[in-house]
Structure 1
């Protein structure tokens, strides 16, 4: 399984709730998770999706992501 990781500014459970619909639409339900304990707030995508699609989905709801 291919995974892609992003450094984000998603900081808390409320932030995760705000990005859920956008990420579900971009990469599919259950194909992503955010590690809030990681200082980089790493978003892991478990599907082969273009990084630009993930970044655009998050930016549309006011968040940032940078592929790492």
Structure 2
């Protein structure tokens, strides 16, 4: 049986490696390691999340580190 992971993209204000380091523990706790990534090279600083996690839960985790995300 094949499983597919839902991927959702968010625009964010995570703009550098230091920012990623700040949000990593919070996102890993919520989503899990290797279940998210940030493209800091994109103009919208795209956060891509695998799995079924709500935008509200993602923002709660990010706000702990002073960041936000909005569904792209």
Question: Which bin holds the TM-score, normalised by the shorter protein?
Answer: over 0.9
Count of matched residue positions in the alignment of Structure 1 and Structure 2: 68
- 2:13 match: 9
Kindly indicate whether residue 26 of structure 2 is the aligned counterpart of residue 22 of structure 1: yes
Instruction: Name structure 1 gaps, 5 residues minimum.
Output: none
Q: For residues 16 and 32 of structure 1, what CA distance do their matches in structure 2 show?
A: 11
Q: After the TM superposition, list the runs of 4 or more consecutive aligned residues in structure 1 that deviate by more than 3 angstroms.
A: none
**Aligned-pair Cα RMSD in Å:** 0.8
- Normalising by structure 1, we get a TM-score of 0.94
| Greater percentage in helix | 1
- 1:53 match: 57
> Cα distance, 1:48 vs. partner?
1.1
Equivalent positions of 1:23-42 (< 5 A) are: 23-42=27-46
Helix, strand or coil at the partner of 2:58: helix
Flag the structure with larger Rg.
2
> Cα distance, 1:12 vs. partner?
0.4
Helix, strand or coil at the partner of 1:38: coil
Q: For residues 48 and 19 of structure 2, what CA distance do their matches in structure 1 show?
A: 15
